[in-house]
Structure 1
Amino acid sequence: MDPFTAQSLKGVLRRDLRAPLYHQLQAFLRGLIERGEIADGERLPREEELARCMGISRVTVRQALQPLADEGLLVRQRGRGTRVRGGRPGSGGHGIPMPLKVPLGELMHSLDILADHTRVRLLGWERAVPPAPVRAAFGSGADEALVRCVRVRYRHGHPFGYYASWTRTDHPDFDADNLARGSRIALFRRCGIGFSQVRQSVSAQRVGALPAMHLQMAPGQAVLTLERRAYGRDRQLLDLLEIQYRPDQLRYQMRLDHEPDLPETSA
């Protein structure tokens, strides 16, 4: 069945959602590619045709297509249109890479593993006064601004984790450009932000509409949620991070060794 008929496209874009239309179209196209509904090498309809069928502008279509090209899922050529790129690495039978395994007991090392095996896309950055629950966690005043950052990580072109953080720092290098390029852990080191204690908790939660869209999931599905609080030497909270992982993309593992009971000895 052709996924680009008027019947197939009906209801794909919803204007009652807070998510921008280009994000919704991007998620729709990525799903078609990952499920194999548009095959490697197949050409997409031209921009003007997509725009007409979906009742949006060509600018909106371009905003949806370009990130997919940046991730390597599409090839765009002037005058020749857009086609699905073949030969995506690390995929199983349904195009989803095997889960990345990281050790639960070695936090900083685990985060470096994730950074080395994934690529990041910055969704938002601002310096703003956080909401009351976040202010309470940081012990910050009503006028103290913190850095808010939202990012998505990808493995082999597949969305992997939705990262939302608040950070207490005035360092000029802790900006959108640097956060868009690499690991926050590496940026902490570069900015001289040191942690004396890190606490984390892992739980299963239901994913909200906006993270679900970026993770290619349905709202309400279960996600593996990690909350990480990092403290400075004065026990002051410096960084609050919440990550929502696709459960088919991450597996935490821990080794527990059991020592056999020793034989009793008499004095």
Structure 2
Amino acid sequence: MDLYDTTTMQGLLRRDLHTPLYHQLRSFLRDQIQRGELRDGQQLPREEDLARRLGISRVTVRLALAELAEEGLLVRQRGRGTRVTHGRGRSPASNGPPPLRSPLCELIDNLDTLADNTQVRLLNCQRNVPPDPVRQAFGLDENDSLVNCVRVRSRHGQAFGYYTSWTRTTHPDFNAEQLARHSRIDLFRQCGLPIVRVEQKISAMRVDAVPAIYLQMQPGQAVMTLERRSFDRDGQLLDLLEIQYRPDQLRYQMRLDHTPDPMESSA
């Protein structure tokens, strides 16, 4: 979104919600930074310009920008304005207990089942230079690009998941036309992307402004967020997917079976 284009900013904030306007603006800008729409080092419009384009007070804009600066997403300098920096709003999880392990084939089967029983709307698919956190996760150089896709998944007409993915591929069939017709799992197979290991992390977060629109939620409400990293046999990251789920529309369930140790059986 062009922050300097008044027409694209109209209707961005909703006064009919209980969520404060500054919180809606903060959530929207954070989402734009983390998706790479606002690039590292990009200069933002002046407070008074943003306020005029959005039809809100300058104090409201100042509050939103100040909180993003506290998160490390913006740098504000007197006489030089406000610019995007780093985009490291979500820090890596600290060391904790070892992850639960499950066969990859079971996850793939579950994803196939999900794809067969839900509907997907593709909002965006293009090759972009990713924001810094994504670039660092893939180990890319500054100008390297990935395929960035944004989708919404629904069931019985109710949207329940907002999907943002970055994929390392140059295959010509990995494009918007194919993604509109096939699931990503099918397209991985078709394009020869050999996923042999998947790491998943689940956390509770607050939904940002843009996903909230599609999930029919209020910005700032709690969502279940899943981050899925898929690797090839050489340990290279092929795909990074983040999903924001409506907690009232999805239940994430795992089955853990204990396999007795042979020594236990003979004891």
In the TM superposition, 1:137-216 aligns within 5 A as: 137-216=137-216
Deviations 1:199-239 (A, max 9, x none): 11111111111111110111111111110001112211110
Query: What is the match of residue 93 of structure 1?
Result: none
Query: What is the match of residue 37 of structure 2?
Result: none
Q: Is the 8 A contact 2:104 2:198 kept in 1?
A: no
C-alpha displacement at 1:161, in angstroms?
0.4
Q: Is the 8 A contact 2:150 2:163 kept in 1?
A: yes
C-alpha displacement at 1:182, in angstroms?
2.8
Alpha-carbon distance change, 168 to 105 in structure 1, aligned in 2, over 3 angstroms: closer
Q: TM-score, normalised by structure 1?
A: 0.58
Residues in 1 aligned to 2:171 and 2:266: alpha-carbon distance in whole angstroms: 61
Deviations 1:126-162 (A, max 9, x none): 1011111111000011121110000001101110100
Query: What is the match of residue 116 of structure 1?
Result: 116
Q: Which amino acid aligns with 2:136?
A: A
Query: What is the match of residue 249 of structure 1?
Result: 249
C-alpha displacement at 1:111, in angstroms?
1.1
Secondary structure of the structure 2 residue equivalent to 1:200: strand
Secondary structure of the structure 2 residue equivalent to 1:213: helix
Q: Is the 8 A contact 2:118 2:155 kept in 1?
A: yes
C-alpha displacement at 1:18, in angstroms?
11
Alpha-carbon distance change, 234 to 218 in structure 1, aligned in 2, over 3 angstroms: same
Structure 1: gaps of 5 or more residues: 1-9, 20-102
Alpha-carbon distance change, 224 to 104 in structure 1, aligned in 2, over 3 angstroms: farther
Residues in 1 aligned to 2:265 and 2:194: alpha-carbon distance in whole angstroms: 47
Residues in 2 aligned to 1:192 and 1:265: alpha-carbon distance in whole angstroms: 45
Residues in 2 aligned to 1:192 and 1:224: alpha-carbon distance in whole angstroms: 31
Deviations 1:15-51 (A, max 9, x none): x9699xxxxxxxxxxxxxxxxxxxxxxxxxxxxxxxx
Q: Is the 8 A contact 1:162 1:243 kept in 2?
A: yes
Residues in 1 aligned to 2:110 and 2:129: alpha-carbon distance in whole angstroms: 30
C-alpha displacement at 1:112, in angstroms?
1.1
C-alpha displacement at 1:256, in angstroms?
3.6
Query: What is the match of residue 41 of structure 2?
Result: none
C-alpha displacement at 1:171, in angstroms?
0.4
Number of equivalences = 174
Secondary structure of the structure 2 residue equivalent to 1:142: coil
Query: What is the match of residue 52 of structure 1?
Result: none
Q: Is the 8 A contact 1:104 1:254 kept in 2?
A: no
Secondary structure of the structure 1 residue equivalent to 2:252: strand
Secondary structure of the structure 1 residue equivalent to 2:251: strand
Residues in 1 aligned to 2:128 and 2:264: alpha-carbon distance in whole angstroms: 62
Alpha-carbon distance change, 132 to 157 in structure 1, aligned in 2, over 3 angstroms: same
Secondary structure of the structure 2 residue equivalent to 1:250: coil
Q: Is the 8 A contact 1:161 1:244 kept in 2?
A: yes
Query: RMSD across aligned C-alpha pairs, in angstroms?
Result: 3.2
Q: Is the 8 A contact 2:104 2:197 kept in 1?
A: no
Rg comparison, structure with higher value = 1
In the TM superposition, 1:116-135 aligns within 5 A as: 116-135=116-135
Deviations 1:74-114 (A, max 9, x none): xxxxxxxxxxxxxxxxxxxxxxxxxxxxx999321221121
